[in-house]
């Protein structure tokens, strides 16, 4: 056991969080309290600080596509991804913003909402083949739809289709149900976890909300950064 001594001065976050070149890479970005809560007042935003928000936006800028569940879109009031300060140079040669890819089994989505109507690049919807045909038709009128799987989304097939469209640097923002599916499918390459210095108690949702993972993936600590009393941990999958 050893201490993690903070290095003096700021770090280059763009360099620290650069995607590995030449591969399809699934990164997740989550926040949790010290006792494991992934939400405060049913929203993840109540756990972070300014540095967490800055990293949240930077990770979006580095990504080719941002994957998020429909429940999180509704609960967090998602709009489309917007250009952000600190993106200088990180999107050279790519569209100005990454599209959102919304995971939805029922397609219970408001297709007139800004997340669709005001998106600079078309929002993507990931849905299974059993989605309601009327809702599926409406989705295709307002979004770029990828159908994969029957009763539930086939995440590996959806990721292959995203990669075929040039979206190889993937960022999963959850929620916990979607991240649980990503992990269960063996797709998670990296977890960026902000550890918030709060103890909330109760029976909150954790960053994974799903059945036990039969073969838990082993992760290696790539770095640990600090801002105020927050820790910013980056783990990568052991190969």
Looking up residue 106, the CATH number of its domain turns out to be 3.40.430.10
Does a structural domain hold residue 54? yes
pLDDT of the residue at 14: 94
Domain that holds residue 189: 23-237
Does a structural domain hold residue 1? no
Residue 24 phi/psi, 5-degree rounding, is: -85, 130
* Furthest-apart CA atoms within the chain: distance in Å: 58
Does a structural domain hold residue 201? yes
Does a structural domain hold residue 193? yes
CB 146 within 8 A of CB 167: no
Mean pLDDT throughout 191-203? 94
Mean pLDDT throughout 23-40? 94
- Whether the per-residue pLDDT at 217 is higher than 80: the answer is yes
Does a structural domain hold residue 160? yes
Does a structural domain hold residue 211? yes
> How many domains are contained in the chain?
1
Provide the token pair at 231.
Answer: 């820790």
Does a structural domain hold residue 5? no
- Write out pLDDT tens, residues 117-171: 999 999 999 999 999 999 999 999 999 999 999 989 999 999 999 999 999 999 9
CB 195 within 8 A of CB 32: yes
Does a structural domain hold residue 17? no
Q: Give the global pTM.
A: 0.94
DSSP strand E in the chain: where? Answer: 25-33, 65-69, 100-103, 124-127, 144-147, 169-172, 190-196, 219-227, 230-237
| Own/partner pairs, 71-75, CB within 8 angstroms, 24+ separation | 71/175, 71/177, 72/173, 72/174, 72/175, 72/178, 73/100, 73/102, 73/109, 73/115, 75/42, 75/43, 75/175
Provide the token pair at 146.
Answer: 């990828």
Question: Which residue's entry shows tokens 């040039």?
Answer: 166
Residue 87: CB atoms within 10 Å: 17
- Whether the per-residue pLDDT at 28 is higher than 80: the answer is yes
Contacts of 22 (CB under 8 A, 6+ apart): none
pLDDT of the residue at 186: 95
CB 175 within 8 A of CB 75: yes
Contacts of 96 (CB under 8 A, 6+ apart): 83, 120, 121
- Whether the per-residue pLDDT at 205 is higher than 70: the answer is yes
């Amino acid at each position: 056991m050893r201490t993690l001594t903070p290095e003096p001065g700021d770090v280059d976050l763009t360099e620290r969080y650069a995607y590995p070149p030449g591969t399809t890479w699934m990164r997740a970005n989550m926040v949790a309290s010290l006792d494991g809560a992934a939400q405060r007042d049913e929203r993840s935003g109540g756990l972070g600080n300014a540095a967490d928000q800055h990293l949240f936006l930077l990770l979006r800028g580095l990504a080719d596509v941002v994957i998020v569940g429909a429940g999180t879109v509704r609960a967090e009031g998602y709009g489309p991804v917007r250009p952000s300060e600190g993106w200088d140079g990180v999107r050279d040669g790519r569209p100005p913003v990454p599209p959102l890819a919304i995971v939805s089994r029922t397609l219970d989505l408001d297709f007139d909402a800004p997340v669709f109507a005001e998106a600079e690049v078309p929002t993507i919807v990931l849905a299974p083949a059993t989605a309601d045909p009327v809702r599926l038709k409406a989705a295709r009128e307002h979004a770029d739809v990828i159908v994969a799987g029957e009763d539930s989304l086939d995440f590996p097939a959806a990721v292959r289709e995203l990669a075929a469209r040039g979206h190889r640097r993937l960022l999963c923002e959850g929620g916990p149900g979607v991240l649980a599916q990503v992990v269960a499918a063996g797709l998670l390459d990296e977890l960026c976890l902000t550890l918030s210095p709060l103890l909330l108690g109760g029976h909150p949702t954790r960053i994974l909300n799903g059945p036990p993972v039969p073969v838990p993936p082993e992760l290696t600590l790539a770095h640990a950064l600090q801002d105020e009393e927050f820790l910013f941990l980056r783990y990568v999958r052991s190969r």
